[in-house]
Chain A
Amino acid sequence: MKKHKKKIIAGVIIAAILSFAFLWCDNAAGPHSRDAKNSESTKVTKTEELSKIPENFPSAESFQKTDEQTETEGNADLAEDIPLYSPSQTPSKDVSYSEQNGMDIKDDTGKDEYQTEPVSEGNPVPIEPENTVISDKELTCTMSVRCDTILENIAWLDKEKTELVPKDGVIYGEQTVTFYEGESVFNLLVREMKRNKIHLEFENTPIYNSAYIEGIGNLYEFDCGELSGWMYRVNGWFPNYGCSRYQLKAGDKVEWVYTCDLGRDIGGDYSSRNGK
């Protein structure tokens, strides 16, 4: 017993540190930490649940799969998800619609070259920025940048950032802006933020062939809970691909909105997008 005293003490210390870390991190899960915990427990037993995925699908997996948010996750997660997004999951009319419009859906993954699933019927398909020619033709659309959800979840906001949140949640009020034919939502955002001296940070992610918007007006992803970040909506629809691949059309209504809950608080989560 005496011989192993040190080993036992070391074991107890390690266990104490681990349990402390576990409990501590649990508090920082975001506004819906309880739901998040449920999803984690579901993830652990995923192998068992593979058989009955259709009914568990939105609640368990929507956490991992919300257009821009996925970009913050690694490849490994995506690979893990692949069996869950087999082509049979997506309505076949979406697949045929997307393929007719020029998307190259791979048979084995059910996704295109840049990890994008088929676009739901009636919505524009992604257009790669390197294949487009920007002309001199000036067109107009409307754009706005808002962060109303932060006001609702102000308790979760990083204390140092409180002063940055406008009282009405409007960072850039809706207004008509000019763009050039062939430009993407991303090109427009960068130009307008620069012109209005609003801070913007993005990162190019080659795997999705798009820019990822990390922060606008110094309000960054994860600043308001672990599930927060910027999303965009065009004509009321949250595209399931990055903003560099969404080509603007005259009269489009572009809205950049901050979410504190992976899109569910603004109606942009995976399940609602697919009409489930």
Chain B
Amino acid sequence: MEEIILRETESDKMNEFKTYHPIVNFVYFVFVIGFSCVFMHPVSLTISLLSGFTYSVMLKGRKALKTNLIYMIPTLIFASFINPAFNHEGVTIIEYLPSGNPLTLESVVYGLAAAMMIVSVICWFSCYTEIMTSDKFIYLFGRIIPSLSLIISMTLRFVPRFSAQLKVVANAQRCMGRDVSNGSIIKRAKHGLSILSIMTTWALENAIDTADSMKSRGYGHPGRTAFSIFNFDKRDRKAFLYIMVFGIYTLIGSLSGGMYFRYFPSIRANDVSVFGLSVFVAYGALCMCPILIEIWEVRKWKAIESKI
């Protein structure tokens, strides 16, 4: 099974989940990113990190694996050093720092947990941008908050557009011998500045253009209808139900103390119980939802293929 997934990721990236209705995508990410930001239990952190990491690699292929590892490992090391430098709470004193304050096991563990949380949230957001494209966001929020949703999607789109335009402008300038790699340092700085000024003008003009064109098309007006190709079909209903059931169960379970874990003053967790396990299983099932969908789709595809 895994072999199939890896081969598939290399040829064409899988995003079966992307074809689902935007509301399904959005609710999924609200649950998963919200929970990843809040749950500090090591088991839930591991679940979130592993599934977020796997999913981002599945979506973006080998390249994502490399970039993920490049920032993930330094962040983990950095946080586990930084936290005990400022936080000295905890009953297990390992050593005394030169300042005289204690270095405690609890603060080191807490630093690691916080780092895991940051990394998993970054992973989830990289998946979010891949799945929740701006047209989906506008589709969901264009009616309720028209101007804000347009601004959000334009802002998110701005960075890639800006860097693409930067390349175009820099190439055009290079043809005239005004590249940032030509001449003395002062000349190079001058060339760089002129490129920057061109880019700024372009960005401002572009923003006004977009605003005008949206206005002339009647965007945000009450009578305006919007064409969309999104249908909420049976498949979406199933996925939506799945996400809602596990999401709400996890929420209730964590609110009633199923994921209790404390780091200070001493590390302590709940005893293993059926209820506690069920909350983690529900959380795992929620996080793995798109991965399961991909696997299931691949299996179905293979089954059909072999019959021919």
* Chain A residues within 8 Å of B, Cβ to Cβ: 160-161, 164, 190, 194, 197, 199-202, 204, 215, 218, 220
The distance in angstroms between the C-alpha atoms of A197 and B91, with both chains bound, is 10
Q: Which of B91, B99, B100, B262 contacts A199 (CB 8 A)?
A: B91
Q: How far is the CA of A164 from the CA of B106 in the complex (A)?
A: 15
- The range of chain B's interface size is 10 to 19
Is A201 touching B102 in the complex (CB atoms < 8 A)?
yes
Identify the closest chain B residue to A203 (Cβ). Answer: B101
A194 touches B101 (CB 8 A): no
A15 to chain B, nearest CB (A): 20
Is B230 part of the binding interface, using a Cβ–Cβ cutoff of 8 Å?
Answer: no
Bound CA span A218–B90, Å: 6
Whose C-beta in chain B lies nearest to the C-beta of A197? B93
- Cα(A73)–Cα(B29), bound, Å: 41
Q: Is the Cβ of A218 less than 8 Å from the Cβ of B91?
A: yes
CB–CB B102/A200 < 8 A: yes
Task: List the 7 closest pairs (A to B, CB-CB), nearest first.
Answer: A218-B265, A201-B88, A190-B100, A160-B262, A201-B101, A218-B91, A164-B265
A204 to B100, CA, bound (A): 11
Cα distance A220–B89 in the bound complex, in angstroms: 9
Q: Is the CB of A199 within 8 A of B264?
A: no
Q: Which residues of B contact A160 (CB under 8 A)?
A: 262, 264-265
Judge if B158 is at the interface, Cβ distance under 8 Å: no
Interface SS majority for chain A = mixed
Give Cα A194–Cα B102 distance, bound, in whole angstroms. 9
What 11 additional pairs, Cβ within 8 angstroms, besides A199-B88, A199-B89?
A160-B264, A164-B91, A199-B93, A199-B102, A200-B102, A201-B101, A201-B102, A202-B100, A202-B101, A218-B89, A218-B264
Minimum CB–CB distance for A5 against chain B, Å: 12
Q: How far is the CB of A41 from chain B (nearest CB, A)?
A: 35
Q: Does B78 contact A (CB under 8 A)?
A: no
Q: Which residue of B is nearest A200, CB measured?
A: B102
User: A160-B262, A164-B265, A218-B265 are known contacts. Are A199 and B90 too (CB-CB below 8 A)?
Assistant: yes
Report Cα–Cα, A197/B95, bound state, in Å: 11
Q: Could you tell me the distance between the alpha carbons of A204 and B265 in the complex, rounded to whole angstroms? A: 22
Contact residues of B: prevailing secondary structure: loop
Instruction: Name the residue in B88, B99, B100, B264 with the highest tally of chain A Cβ atoms < 10 Å from its Cβ.
Output: B100
Q: What distance in Å separates the Cβ of A216 from its nearest Cβ neighbour in chain B?
A: 12
Interface hits, B57-97 → A, CB 8 Å: 88-91, 93, 96
CB distance from B108 to the nearest CB of A (A): 15
Distance in Å from the Cβ of B94 to the closest Cβ of chain A? 12
Given A160-B264, A202-B101, are A194 and B96 also a contact pair (CB < 8 Å)? yes
Q: Contact string, B249-275, partner A, CB cutoff 8 A, digits 1/0?
A: 000000000000010110000000000
B interface with A by C-beta (< 8 Å): 88-91, 93, 96, 99-102, 104, 262, 264-265
CB < 8 Å neighbour of B265 from A161, A190, A194, A200? A161
Interface centre among B88, B93, B262, B264 (most CB of A within 10 A): B88
For B87, give the chain A residue with the smallest CB separation: A201
- A–B pairs, 12, beta carbons within 8 Å: A160-B262, A160-B264, A161-B265, A190-B100, A197-B93, A199-B88, A200-B101, A200-B102, A201-B101, A202-B101, A218-B91, A220-B89
Q: Which residues of B contact A215 (CB under 8 A)?
A: 89
**Chain A residues within 8 Å of B91, by CB:** 164, 199, 218
Q: How far is the CB of B29 from chain A (nearest CB, A)?
A: 24
Closest B-chain residue to A6, C-beta based?
B145
Q: Which residues on B sit within 8 Å (CB–CB) of A204?
A: 99
Query: Which residues of chain A are within 8 angstroms of B99 by Cβ–Cβ distance?
Result: 204
**A160 and B264 alpha carbons, distance in the complex (Å):** 8
> Quick one: which of A190, A194, A201, A202 contacts B89, CB cutoff 8 A?
A201
Given the complex, which residues of A lie within 8 Å of B89, measured CB to CB? 199, 201, 215, 218, 220
Across the interface, name the chain A residue whose C-beta is closest to B96: A194
**Min distance, Cβ B106 to any Cβ of chain A, angstroms:** 9
Which residue on chain A has the smallest CB distance to residue B101?
A: A201
CB-CB nearest in chain A for B268: A160
Q: Give the interface centre of A164, A197, A199 by most chain B CB atoms within 10 Å.
A: A199
CB distance from B41 to the nearest CB of A (A): 15
A75 to B89, CA, bound (A): 26
> Separation in Å of the B296 CB from the closest CB of chain A?
42
> What CA separation (Å) do A220 and B90 show in the bound complex?
11
The interface residues of chain A lying within 8 Å CB-to-CB of B90 are 199, 218
Give CA–CA (A33, B54) in the complex, Å. Answer: 51
In the bound assembly, the distance between CA atoms of A194 and B88 in angstroms comes to 14
- List the A residue with the shortest CB-CB distance to B92: A199
Cα-based distance from A201 to B262 in the complex (angstroms)? 20
Q: Collect the chain B residues with CB atoms within 8 Å of residue A201's CB.
A: 88-89, 101-102
Chain B residue with Cβ nearest A215: B89
Q: Which chain A positions have C-beta within 8 A of B265?
A: 160-161, 164, 218
Smallest Cβ-Cβ distance to A193: which chain B residue? B102
Closest chain A residue, CB of each to CB of B102:
A199
CB-CB under 8 A from A200, the residues of chain B are 101-102
Q: Report the separation of the CA atoms of residues A190 and B99 in the bound assembly, to the nearest whole angstrom.
A: 11
Complex Cα–Cα for A199 and B91 (A): 7
A45 to chain B, nearest CB (A): 39
Which residues of the partner chain B approach A199 to less than 8 Å between Cβ atoms? Answer: 88-91, 93, 102, 104
Smallest CB separation, A244 vs chain B (Å)? 11
* A223 nearest CB neighbor, chain B only: B265
Q: Determine how close the nearest CB of chain A comes to the CB of B220; give it in whole angstroms.
A: 12
